[in-house]
Amino acid sequence: MESLKDIAIKILGKNEKRMCSCGGGHEVCLRCRVCRVKENDKLAVDFDHLAQYIDHTLLKPEATSDAIVALCQEADHYKTKSVCVNPIYVDLAHKNLKEALTCTVVGFPLSNSLTPTIVQEASTAIAQGATEVDMVLKVNWLKDKEYQKILTEIGIIAQTCQANGAILKVIFENCLLTEEEIAIAAILAKKAGAEFIKTSTGFNKSGAVLEDVALMRKVVGPKFGVKAAGGIRDRETAIAMLKAGANRIGASATKAILKGE
């Protein structure tokens, strides 16, 4: 793989040579829609209290309303950062949570819907109480090098979220990508104004991998969010992901991860 700086220059244009101050491995300034230079570092530092980093997740198609209510009760009991549910359950989750945030997914899990459809999905979810939105990157656009389309779609959804007090995470589906494609996706998501990048949906052939998390963190630097999701089922793995650079964990096995705290 080329250096991250060379990759950034290649996809942004050879005339972009200003150095970046946010600490990202891309080095050159991305001219991000939201500059985060003055923000505090987002790195995980407290490995004794993992719940604060966890999005307690239930996205299975067979999930019932009773299961969602139980998920919310567990999230408040363990004091997780959020619950992550499918859009049809955002309203139910929001009404049943006392402290945890409501997170949802849009364009999930394949992101083959048209951009206006995904924007509407995000808008409706936010109106029903979602304060965090995890969208899926269009892998086919990335493979086709349709970088401007990706920037435009993420940018529109990021603006929709931020105008309504929500944050945006962009899911890559790393198991389908090369290292260079992961780096490019991270650069594009950061430039477009998202707050987080995320490893996977958990619905493809593999989930979070330590090496991918480390690469994602290296690309975006310390002032940006990195979420590891998919296949994280125990405390040891969760801590390893945080030490590799994640500052959020998407997990359905929250009780097993937090056992012993």
Go through the domains of the chain in sequence order and give each one's CATH number.
42-258 (3.20.20.70)
pLDDT by residue for the chain (261 residues), tens digit each? 999 999 999 988 766 668 888 999 999 999 999 999 999 999 999 999 999 999 999 999 999 999 999 999 999 999 999 999 999 999 999 999 999 999 999 999 999 999 999 999 999 999 999 999 999 999 999 999 999 999 999 999 999 999 999 999 999 999 999 999 999 999 999 999 999 999 999 999 999 999 999 999 999 999 999 999 999 999 999 999 999 999 999 999 999 999 866
Query: What DSSP character marks residue 129?
Result: T
* CA atoms 217, 222, 227, 232: torsion sign: positive
Residue 169, strand partner residues: 134, 196
Residue that is written with structure tokens 């990157």 in the block = 137
Q: Tell me if the pTM is above 0.95.
A: yes
Distances (CA, A) of 182 to 80, 105, 216, 261: 28, 20, 7, 34
Instruction: With CA atoms as reference, report the closest residue to 196 among 213, 181, 179.
Output: 213
Give the residue numbers annotated as catalytic, written as ranges.
134, 198, 227
Residue 33 has a CB neighbour count (10 Å cut-off) of 16
Residue 47 half-sphere exposure toward CB, CA atoms < 13 A: 12
